[in-house]
A and B are shown apart, each in its own frame.
Chain A
């Protein structure tokens, strides 16, 4: 009996194996795009709550907004989407938006100004992490009923606390919290005072190009085309984001054709993939930067001459060309390329004698010892080693401390760092956004964290945001940047570049990806 059982079991196992083999092949159909990405950081699909980059772009695909960004060449410009037009009052503080007629949500419900106003109020009541953007121009949870007003079914107004330049206001309104949500669809799912947040975490109720069909966490996200989309139904009918945490697996999937694009493949793997004729590497300028920051309240770094010496001891070209294989842009100012206010000067290069001379003038002919903190995220540890070696050439001994990102930010916010290598992600495509972060300590962002309490830079930043004449405004950012080069606590290493290996069948990715970080236009994709 024993023997018979063993035999039966062996045959069963063999049978199962044969039954299952030869069944592995999957092809991506022509109306579907499969994205292989690490979705471990995905938290919510609620437009009032989402903040991270890729989830944010997916939410953008699910919800249309009054104003959206569009890439005109390399430059990102706010354009009306659900709105037909807007008018700005004489005092530049009140904006009147007129909606398009006949708009529909993805489920067919009509969409008008009521929904737009309700959605903004809804976002203001939630603990959204991007809410501070609109709070910074004077609309808060407490005053939203007075500042955002419905005029009729097709018009509403927004009143801001100061006469900001319109590029700033419109840029801020392209963020996810301004997404228009279908109140009628959400209301049955509200519980307590959560405003439907729990339900919207993994359902969509918008008017964007796509609808969220399902989201199985840590598995896959499936979007299907919205037949009522205001710009017409997109060509790709289904987008599947598969959770593939391992970059090596993402690579294999794209090379084999089981995925059209890999989201987290970088570095040497990307270089190796470039040899595959079935795919191409797409590169676009990113919306973030990487910098070395010096705490202006700590020891030798208090002296602007010492900070200048540090800026002259780094070999920027080697970081970009060797360490990053050219996958970065040399931008030394704080305004990203493609933004209003971008300054094309890159004044810094490695000049050891000059750096040594500056250090000697500041009273540190033999250099000093300093702690250089950065996070574990690649390529930061390698950058830290490179900068350590460069600084050693002028006698500065940097001791590298590598910690988890969250740990780094905790210390950084408390001004506990001496030197730090980190990056900044932008929130709207205007110099103003970056000037506040990097030059205005009163904004409590990077300049503050590095204790660079410079009144001139802070006041110029604030002044520039109210300048109505774009020519004058541009000039103000040029002056600010030049001043910042000489005095500021940052050595800007580069502007990031976004890269993807994309299969040749998937077309239009180059256009879809322009502005990634801030914008990803899924409707441009086709096969």
Chain B
């Protein structure tokens, strides 16, 4: 089977997954016995008003009809009009998503650098101090809830030490850079706006670390075990026996092979980052897609919640596809 066939198969699978997500999201949104129209109008509103608005928004139509018009729109990226912001949901996503993807990208960079480093060190210095420290660090990362770490770090680095800001993307006296990608770090770099760049950077460090902590831990553990496995292989022994320097053996001979499982895990945790963003963004007042969805949930803004969720599922699938392709390129055995 060649790579094109493989690709087409994967893309069809993605379509199937997205259809499944759409069904589930729609079902959950409509099975909740809550009334979005009542939520818009508040507890004091008279019932006639509520019926009128319900008809206006189309919530009085049969469910199956609503589902099909939702699906029809979703295929072309039209998730309807957000009840809360009054904008097309897709436009809102375009507005909020850059903040989320920026956060996720920085988080993944931090977790790859930190995770791979810790993984190598603990494999090379197995059962020594550094290995034990990294083990404790990883277990904490996997087991502590994101919002709790977030609040504790804010307390330490913002409140006590005053090193980092406590939330938001920029200080309010710093003007955001001209919008190119919507990601402040890149936009300020492109436009040479150093003040905004510095401010955006200090704002993103803490949330990105918190968001990436969990993945850092997973990456460190996976790298460690695959590194250990590779280090026990015969070709490593041969390399050592040849009298090569230890560093060369580790980085050139062992690491490259040990990284294959790490790439898989990176693809998987990237999806997890998007999902973790919902909590991290709330704790750090980060105006991204996660916060958009949470705010939508609280005001029963169905179009926003459904659209946002499907969009995240779509990006998640794309990330997985990218990893699969990378994988296929790195390891020819996977293409069969």
Which residues does A use to contact B, with CB under 8 Å? 2-3, 9, 13, 16-17, 19-26, 34, 40-41, 43-44, 51-52, 127, 129, 132, 197-198, 201, 216-220, 222, 240, 242-246, 248-249, 252-253, 255-256, 258, 404-407, 409-411, 413, 422-425, 427, 437, 444-445
A245 — which chain B residues lie within 8 A by C-beta? 282, 285, 291, 294
Tell me how far the C-beta of A241 lies from the nearest C-beta in chain B, rounded to whole angstroms: 10
Given the contacts A21-B202, A242-B168, A424-B44, A413 and B299 also touching, CB distance less than 8 Å = no
Tell me how far the C-beta of A120 lies from the nearest C-beta in chain B, rounded to whole angstroms: 19
Q: Is the interface of A mostly helix, strand, loop or mixed?
A: mixed
Asked if residues B45 and A129 are in contact (CB atoms below 8 Å), the reply is yes
Tell me how far the C-beta of B184 lies from the nearest C-beta in chain A, rounded to whole angstroms: 12
A197 — which chain B residues lie within 8 A by C-beta? 86
Asked if residues B202 and A20 are in contact (CB atoms below 8 Å), the reply is yes
Given the contacts A21-B202, A252-B154, A445 and B44 also touching, CB distance less than 8 Å = yes
Asked if residues B287 and A218 are in contact (CB atoms below 8 Å), the reply is yes
Asked if residues A246 and B151 are in contact (CB atoms below 8 Å), the reply is yes
Asked if residues B33 and A127 are in contact (CB atoms below 8 Å), the reply is no
- Pairs A-B, 6 closest by C-beta atoms: A406-B39, A40-B295, A410-B35, A219-B287, A20-B202, A407-B34
Residue of B nearest to A407 (CB): B34
Sampled A-B contacts (9; CB under 8 Å): A22-B163, A23-B199, A24-B158, A24-B164, A43-B40, A52-B42, A129-B49, A404-B32, A406-B39
Tell me whether B85 is interfacial, beta carbon within 8 Å: yes
Tell me how far the C-beta of B176 lies from the nearest C-beta in chain A, rounded to whole angstroms: 8
B164 — which chain A residues lie within 8 A by C-beta? 21, 24
Tell me how far the C-beta of B203 lies from the nearest C-beta in chain A, rounded to whole angstroms: 9
Interface 1/0 per residue, B68-93 and A, CB below 8 Å: 00000000000000001110000000
Asked if residues A248 and B43 are in contact (CB atoms below 8 Å), the reply is no
Asked if residues B96 and A218 are in contact (CB atoms below 8 Å), the reply is yes
- How many Å lie between the Cα of A256 and that of B34 in the bound state? 40
B251 — which chain A residues lie within 8 A by C-beta? 2-3
Q: List residues 250-266 of chain B with CB under 8 A from any CB of chain A.
A: 251-252
Residue of B nearest to A244 (CB): B285
Asked if residues B166 and A129 are in contact (CB atoms below 8 Å), the reply is no
- How many Å lie between the Cα of A41 and that of B300 in the bound state? 11
Tell me whether B229 is interfacial, beta carbon within 8 Å: no
8 Å CB contact of B171 from A26, A132, A423 = A26
Given the contacts A129-B40, A218-B292, A252-B158, A240 and B282 also touching, CB distance less than 8 Å = no
Given the contacts A255-B159, A444-B47, A406 and B36 also touching, CB distance less than 8 Å = yes
Asked if residues A132 and B49 are in contact (CB atoms below 8 Å), the reply is yes
Residue of A nearest to B40 (CB): A129
Asked if residues B49 and A410 are in contact (CB atoms below 8 Å), the reply is no
Q: Is the interface of B mostly helix, strand, loop or mixed?
A: helix
8 Å CB contact of A20 from B172, B198, B291 = B198
Tell me whether B50 is interfacial, beta carbon within 8 Å: yes
Tell me how far the C-beta of B160 lies from the nearest C-beta in chain A, rounded to whole angstroms: 10
Asked if residues B34 and A406 are in contact (CB atoms below 8 Å), the reply is yes
Which residues does B use to contact A, with CB under 8 Å? 32-36, 38-47, 49-50, 52-53, 56, 84-86, 95-96, 113, 151, 154-155, 158-159, 162-169, 171-173, 198-199, 201-202, 205, 247, 251-252, 282-283, 285, 287, 291-292, 294-295, 298-300
- How many Å lie between the Cα of A17 and that of B201 in the bound state? 9
Tell me how far the C-beta of B246 lies from the nearest C-beta in chain A, rounded to whole angstroms: 13
Asked if residues A20 and B42 are in contact (CB atoms below 8 Å), the reply is no
B96 — which chain A residues lie within 8 A by C-beta? 218
- How many Å lie between the Cα of A249 and that of B286 in the bound state? 12
User: 8 other contacts beyond A201-B85, A405-B43, with CB at 8 A cut-off?
Assistant: A20-B201, A24-B165, A40-B298, A43-B40, A198-B86, A256-B158, A410-B33, A422-B43
Asked if residues A243 and B44 are in contact (CB atoms below 8 Å), the reply is no
Residue of A nearest to B158 (CB): A252
Residue of A nearest to B164 (CB): A24
- How many Å lie between the Cα of A471 and that of B45 in the bound state? 31
B205 — which chain A residues lie within 8 A by C-beta? 17, 20
8 Å CB contact of B287 from A127, A216, A222, A406 = A216
B162 — which chain A residues lie within 8 A by C-beta? 24-25, 256
- How many Å lie between the Cα of A270 and that of B196 in the bound state? 35
Asked if residues A410 and B34 are in contact (CB atoms below 8 Å), the reply is yes
Given the contacts A201-B86, A242-B285, A413-B38, A249 and B202 also touching, CB distance less than 8 Å = no
B292 — which chain A residues lie within 8 A by C-beta? 218
Tell me how far the C-beta of B85 lies from the nearest C-beta in chain A, rounded to whole angstroms: 6
Residue of B nearest to A258 (CB): B166
Asked if residues A249 and B283 are in contact (CB atoms below 8 Å), the reply is yes
- How many Å lie between the Cα of A299 and that of B86 in the bound state? 44
Tell me how far the C-beta of A91 lies from the nearest C-beta in chain B, rounded to whole angstroms: 28
- How many Å lie between the Cα of A23 and that of B95 in the bound state? 27
Asked if residues A406 and B165 are in contact (CB atoms below 8 Å), the reply is no
Residue of A nearest to B285 (CB): A244
- How many Å lie between the Cα of A404 and that of B39 in the bound state? 10
A220 — which chain B residues lie within 8 A by C-beta? 168, 172
Asked if residues A407 and B32 are in contact (CB atoms below 8 Å), the reply is yes
Given the contacts A24-B164, A218-B96, A407-B33, A424 and B43 also touching, CB distance less than 8 Å = yes
B44 — which chain A residues lie within 8 A by C-beta? 424-425, 427, 437, 445
- How many Å lie between the Cα of A162 and that of B44 in the bound state? 23
Most buried by B among A201, A240, A253: A253
A427 — which chain B residues lie within 8 A by C-beta? 44
B38 — which chain A residues lie within 8 A by C-beta? 406, 409-410, 413
Asked if residues B166 and A409 are in contact (CB atoms below 8 Å), the reply is no
8 Å CB contact of A41 from B34, B43, B299 = B299
Asked if residues A2 and B252 are in contact (CB atoms below 8 Å), the reply is yes
Asked if residues A13 and B45 are in contact (CB atoms below 8 Å), the reply is no
Most buried by A among B49, B86, B154: B86
Residue of B nearest to A127 (CB): B53
- How many Å lie between the Cα of A341 and that of B148 in the bound state? 48
Residue of B nearest to A129 (CB): B41
Asked if residues B35 and A406 are in contact (CB atoms below 8 Å), the reply is yes
Residue of A nearest to B301 (CB): A43
- How many Å lie between the Cα of A20 and that of B39 in the bound state? 43
A240 — which chain B residues lie within 8 A by C-beta? 172
